[in-house]
Amino acid sequence: MTKASSSPSKSTLSKVTVADHPLILHKLSRMRDVETGVKEFRELAGEISLLLAYEAMRDLETAPQTLSTPIETAEFPMLSGKKLALVAILRAGLIMADAIVQLVPAAKVGHIGLYRDPQTLKPVAYYSKLPQDIAERRVFVTDPMLATGGSAVAAIQTLKDAGAQTIKLMTILSVPEGIAAVHAAHPEVEIVTAAIDTGLNDHGYIVPGLGDAGDRIYGTK
């Protein structure tokens, strides 16, 4: 039996935040359970995504704005700075972006379609649609699984090619191999994840993991 995710709080890895809040860990354990069905799996993925966004967006800028409460007029913090974009790596990342957009409804949403070839484990690109002003936005890339890192590396490169400059990667499960791959290719990209698992099996699946996230979200297996 593998010991599940004993990642250090807030991580000691540079540029990696492990959001190991008890609520997140409990929900993640429910997601891992092979008995958890499609409906609950989706709900849990959405709930964890909201909690991860709380952590990932902690450094959003605010600026004081003058407002009147029913009691008095004063200055209060409102979001300022760069506008936001959520970019989902299809398919599985869509569930995260769909949840997070509830928190930041003015964010634009981009989609990058990639699937991992089961033999080579290399990402195959099949779609890309990004906000035209992506260069001016803070970008949060969403994908529940960071395994070999090939998909995240490719997606971030697509974003950079389109002009994106400020990019954070949000994942539910990561492994050291995937984190290393992202940081080898894109050292400045911060990663916010719920857990860092042990590693990968011979098929490139995260161990102990939760299986194929896309298949579990969409019921395709």
Q: Which residues in the 34-93 window bind ligand PRP by CB under 6 A?
A: 89-92
Coil, strand or helix: which one is 170?
Answer: strand
Query: In the complex, which residue's CB is closest to Mg ion?
Result: 214
Does 20 show up as a binding residue in the annotation?
no
- Selected binder of ligand PRP within 29, 103, 111, 115 (CB under 6 A): 115
CB 173 within 8 A of CB 212: no
**Phi and psi angles of residue 204, each rounded to the nearest 5 degrees, phi first:** 80, 15
- Taking the least distance from each CB to ligand URA, the nearer of 57 and 90 is 90
Closest separation in Å from C-beta 115 to ligand PRP: 4
With CB under 5 to 8 Å by kind, the binding choice for 123 among ligand URA, Mg ion, ligand PRP, none is ligand PRP
Give CB contacts under 8 A, 24+ apart, made by 106-109.
Answer: 107/83, 108/83, 108/84, 108/133, 108/137, 109/85
Find the binding residues for Mg ion in span 182-221 (CB under 5 A). 212, 214
| Closer residue to ligand URA, CB minimum distance, 51 or 121 | 121
Told to judge if 212 belongs to the known catalytic residues of this protein, a careful annotator would answer yes
Per the CB < 8 A criterion, the answer to whether 136 and 82 are in contact is yes
Residue number with CB closer to Mg ion (42 or 137)? 42
What does the radius of gyration of the chain's CA atoms come to, in whole angstroms? 18
53 binds, among Mg ion, ligand PRP, ligand URA, none (CB under 5 to 8 A by kind): none
CA-nearest of 168, 173, 152 to 216 is 173
Q: Is 12 labeled as ligand-binding?
A: no
